[in-house]
Amino acid sequence: MAGLRERKKEQTQRRIAAVALRLFAERGFDTVTINEIAEAAEVAKVTLFKYFPTKESLVLRGVGEEDLAGIVAVRPPGQSPLEALRAHYRAFAADPAVAVDRDALITQLRVIFDSPALSSGANDRLYGQRQALARVLAEERDGLTAALMAAQITASVLTIQETFFRRLVAGASLEEAGRRLAEDVELAFDLLEHGINR
């Protein structure tokens, strides 16, 4: 169990992020300053930077942090990387509301989708995810094969995730978006497994 100090730090971090997201949603990412965020969150600028080293990190928290490489690395013997990832996304699609604050997620997505700088930052983080997956795959395959597999897998995963998120932003319920995500997961992993010439 986290101590009081850790809980207070976590609360401060969440409060700063929530205030920043609200301001970005109201006025746009580019027009809000760090000083305005710190003032609205009632913290010193140095405190804000202790938790969030850049303005972008206020919004991109959680983006690209899904551990695809870890999922593949700890899969059971005999299970392929695709089977492990398919099982992971099937489980998420079956219950997408497990760890999602829908309103906060939609606000975060709108802010990211509306800002070219944030969209670019999100892509940079996802590139890191692809590189990590390629390193894990390279333990079993040659470098080029691993890099190509990682590129195809992460592109497919990104596409189904973005489609899921855009459905939520467009007003779909978590249940409806999850049902459609389940279909998308099967399509994406079938294409990865069998190729596009089926």
H or E segment to which residue 121 belongs = helix 116-137
Annotation: CATH topology of 4-58: Arc Repressor Mutant, subunit A (1.10.10)
Position 50 scores a pLDDT of 94
CB 156 within 8 A of CB 192: yes
Handedness of CA 85, 80, 156, 172 (dihedral sign): negative
DSSP 61: T
Position 97 scores a pLDDT of 66
Position 1 scores a pLDDT of 55
Position 191 scores a pLDDT of 94
The CATH number given to 68-194 is 1.10.357
Position 92 scores a pLDDT of 85
Tokens of 32: 């809000």
Position 18 scores a pLDDT of 93
H or E segment to which residue 24 belongs = helix 4-27
Position 61 scores a pLDDT of 84
Position 198 scores a pLDDT of 56
Position 99 scores a pLDDT of 59
Largest CA distance in the chain: 58
What is this structure's pTM? Answer: 0.77
Cα distance between residue 130 and residue 64, in whole Å = 9
Extract the residue ranges of the chain whose pLDDT is less than 70: 1-2, 97-100, 197-198
Domain ranges of the chain: 4-58, 68-194
